[in-house]
Structure 1
Amino acid sequence: MAGFYTQSNKDNKGHLEMSDIYKAPEAQLTEGGESGSYGSLEKGLAGDYSIAIEDTLKEAWNRSKGKKLTIWLALILYFVCYVAITLVASVITGYSAFNFGASANGALTSMFLYQVIVALATAPLIAGLWMVGVKIAREEQTSATEIFSHFDKLLPLAIANILISIFTLVGFFLFVIPGIYLSVAYLLAIPLIADKNMGPWQAMETSRKAITKHWFSFFGFLIVCLLLYFAGALALLIGLIWALPLIAIAIGVVYRNIFGGPED
């Protein structure tokens, strides 16, 4: 009998070992459990995500505690840099909105050069603002100086910024609806370049294809963010102290849930 049980146990053990080869590794199933609903490029492009507006805002509100100053300092730094950039661009190009004496051709040329300089110089700063919210959403270390961390991607960011502006403008001329669609669909292109080292067109198409899977949900989320901004502004602008950090982190949470963490 003892020999029978021993042989039986060996057979059962062998059977279990054979069956276990079809079982997914448990370590992989539990890995990343702390990151919750973090997405990935593959999941984002497949539309394997959802936008729960209430849950997103609740998480963003909780994560904004202790982070409001970081976001506001980043906004102040951006504003100071933007003003400085526009002043330098005006000196270089001679363009001014109040320069009524310039010829039409001269004014158009100056305005074009002015816009190009501003777009080039501010694109990395805008990417930095995006990444402050994204990094807070992912519980990564960040600071207000994050806005200066992406000048190594100046060219792709500037090209994407210009292309998005052109395509969206053309879309608005084409019965408005295409412009609304593209302005929403391209929204995550800039952080994709900063975060995933994508090229301009790749980032634009990745953003468009992923957002299109749940475009109306994303659009509804942006409407809610806009309403929060107006509510904060109507409260003698004091409400913006809470509204702007909430919105920045909420967008970071949505980006994280769609595309996940940075590329290795």
Structure 2
Amino acid sequence: MTTNSTNNNPYSAPQSDLELDNSQGKVPSISEALSRGYDFAIGEVLSEAWSKVSGSKGTIIGAALLTFVLMWVASFIAGLISSLIGIASPGLGIATELTLEIITGALIAPVIAGLFLIGMHRSANYPIRFNMIFDFVNKAVPLLLGYLLMNLVIFVPAALLVGLAAVLGLPIGVLFLAIAIAVIYATYLSVAYIFTLPLMAERDLSPWQALETSRKAVSQRWGKVFAVLILIYLFMLLSVFTLFIGLIWTIPLALIALGIVYRTIFGVLPPTH
């Protein structure tokens, strides 16, 4: 009789609750992911992410460097063209600059979604490629719209609240209160919307569906997701004091850690190619 050595062997290594158990069936649907609930230990997320850095540094750093180069080139070209046109016609230059910013955003949004995908696939032990950052170029328009909508929802109400308090000449105490509310509001949504782009890219959700799905899911454990993001930021900041050499480890750690959190909430669809 065949036995399951993983379950019966008392000396086998314990499995992390964060690991995607593919043997239990398919990845949950969005509605199932939102209704089933989830939890994770921050230390386990970072520990697992660190264990997966080995063997993936080259791919992830290559993808990150290529992303940086693309962002720099796009920004440089956009600024150069808008400046040249602006010299001849200031009004046209402003319109062109806005158009080029939209084009630049269309390039950046799918690339960022691709970076998320690399971290997600590494978290689920799927193969990764540095050129996965181009996997969602065909979704540039909806990803751009999602990016713009996300920023509008986060920053416009916050800016209006502070601006209104300032324009009305309200007492300084009220102004500070408005600023505090705006910061809390923007911080909450910035964290809650963290998975908007990968949800649009991987699950083909519309911009608003992705925003709401990410918000509802992250809000269940908002404090822990926020803590993971803060720790990632601190690790990246500390890398500065190593002459940026530490980024070789902290960039993969950051992407994989976010991938693990995403996997814990939604699961990761297997690669199709």
Is the structural similarity TM-score above 0.5?
yes
Conserved? CA contact 1:171–1:177, under 8 Å: no
Does 1:250 find its partner at 2:239?
Answer: no
Question: Structure 1: which 5+ runs fail to align?
Answer: 1-30
Residue aligning to 1:24:
none
Cα distance 1:56–1:107, how it changes in 2: closer, same or farther (>3 A)? same
Cα distance 1:102–1:227, how it changes in 2: closer, same or farther (>3 A)? farther
Aligned residue pairs, count: 230
Residue aligning to 1:109:
95
Residue aligning to 1:140:
126
Does 1:122 find its partner at 2:129?
Answer: no
For 1:215 and 1:92, how far apart are their aligned partners in 2? 42
Cα offset, 1:35, TM superposition: 7.9
**Among candidates 43, 65, 71, match of residue 82 of structure 1:** 71
For 2:251 and 2:29, how far apart are their aligned partners in 1? 26
Give the match's secondary structure for 1:133.
Answer: helix
Conserved? CA contact 1:95–1:114, under 8 Å: no
Q: 1:20-59, aligned counterparts within 5 Å? A: 32=21, 41-46=30-35, 48-59=37-48
Conserved? CA contact 1:74–1:129, under 8 Å: yes
For 1:146 and 1:85, how far apart are their aligned partners in 2? 19
Give the match's secondary structure for 1:176.
Answer: helix
1:254 alignment partner AA: V
Cα distance 1:184–1:47, how it changes in 2: closer, same or farther (>3 A)? farther
TM-score when normalising by structure 2: 0.76
Conserved? CA contact 1:47–1:213, under 8 Å: no
- Describe the superposition over 1:157-203 as per-residue Cα deviations: whole angstroms up to 9, x where unpaired: 11111111222222442422111111111110101111111111111
Does 1:226 find its partner at 2:233?
Answer: yes
Does 1:158 find its partner at 2:165?
Answer: no
Cα distance 1:100–1:94, how it changes in 2: closer, same or farther (>3 A)? closer
Give the match's secondary structure for 2:125.
Answer: coil
- Describe the superposition over 1:132-164 as per-residue Cα deviations: whole angstroms up to 9, x where unpaired: 111100111121000111112111111111111
Give the match's secondary structure for 2:268.
Answer: coil
For 1:84 and 1:169, how far apart are their aligned partners in 2? 27
Residue aligning to 1:206:
213
Cα offset, 1:47, TM superposition: 6.3
Conserved? CA contact 1:70–1:144, under 8 Å: yes
Cα distance 1:180–1:93, how it changes in 2: closer, same or farther (>3 A)? same
Cα distance 1:87–1:250, how it changes in 2: closer, same or farther (>3 A)? same
Cα offset, 1:217, TM superposition: 1.6
For 1:69 and 1:116, how far apart are their aligned partners in 2? 31
Cα distance 1:68–1:110, how it changes in 2: closer, same or farther (>3 A)? same
Conserved? CA contact 1:45–1:210, under 8 Å: yes
Question: Structure 2: which 5+ runs fail to align?
Answer: 1-19, 162-181
Cα offset, 1:102, TM superposition: 7.3
Cα offset, 1:110, TM superposition: 3.7
2:124 alignment partner AA: R
- Describe the superposition over 1:214-263 as per-residue Cα deviations: whole angstroms up to 9, x where unpaired: 11221112111111111122222121111111111000000000000228
Which of the pair has more CA radius of gyration?
Answer: 1
- Describe the superposition over 1:7-59 as per-residue Cα deviations: whole angstroms up to 9, x where unpaired: xxxxxxxxxxxxxxxxxxxxxxxx946689x7652353236111311000110
Q: Percent identity?
A: 34
Give the match's secondary structure for 2:188.
Answer: helix
